[in-house]
Amino acid sequence: ETGVTQSPTHLIKTRGQQVTLRCSSQSGHNTVSWYQQALGQGPQFIFQYYREEENGRGNFPPRFSGLQFPNYSSELNVNALELDDSALYLCASSLATQGSGYTFGSGTRLTVV
């Protein structure tokens, strides 16, 4: 059984650029959730995907967008990067309707300069 994998692990971008982060969900999991965690804060919910459809969104602007693919892997895209977007981005997979909690990937550390 494979866990959740995220890529890349670290990324440095310039303000105004665009970035794509990738996540492969754990085998058997059909739901992917993305979180942003700023230093010293708890993870903040960005959005969740279930069977390739967005299934809930947090308080993030439209420049944060996502996709889920038929194999349940997912992408997070952020356009027009701002300095405040610097954070750890976490992907979590789960089995919908189970309510058993998330399995997190190791995260992508994004730095915007």
Partner 1 sequence: QKEVEQNSGPLSVPEGAIASLNCTYSDRGSQSFFWYRQYSGKSPELIMSIYSNGDKEDGRFTAQLNKASQYVSLLIRDSQPSDSATYLCAVNINLNDKIIFGKGTRLHILP
**55 touches partner 1 by CB under 8 A:** yes
Scanning 10-18, 61-69, 78-86, 92-100 for contacts with partner 1 by CB under 8 A, the matching segment is 92-100
**58 touches partner 1 by CB under 8 A:** yes
Distance CA 4, CA 24 (A): 6
CB 4 within 8 A of CB 92: yes
Q: Which two tokens stand for residue 61?
A: 């602007």
Distance CA 24, CA 15 (A): 27
Instruction: Give, as ranges, the residues between 28 and 47 that touch partner 1 (CB under 8 A).
Output: 31, 33, 35, 40-45
Return the amino acid letter for 83: L
Q: Which residues bind partner 1 (CB under 8 A)?
A: 31, 33, 35, 40-45, 48, 50, 55-56, 58, 88, 90, 92, 96-107
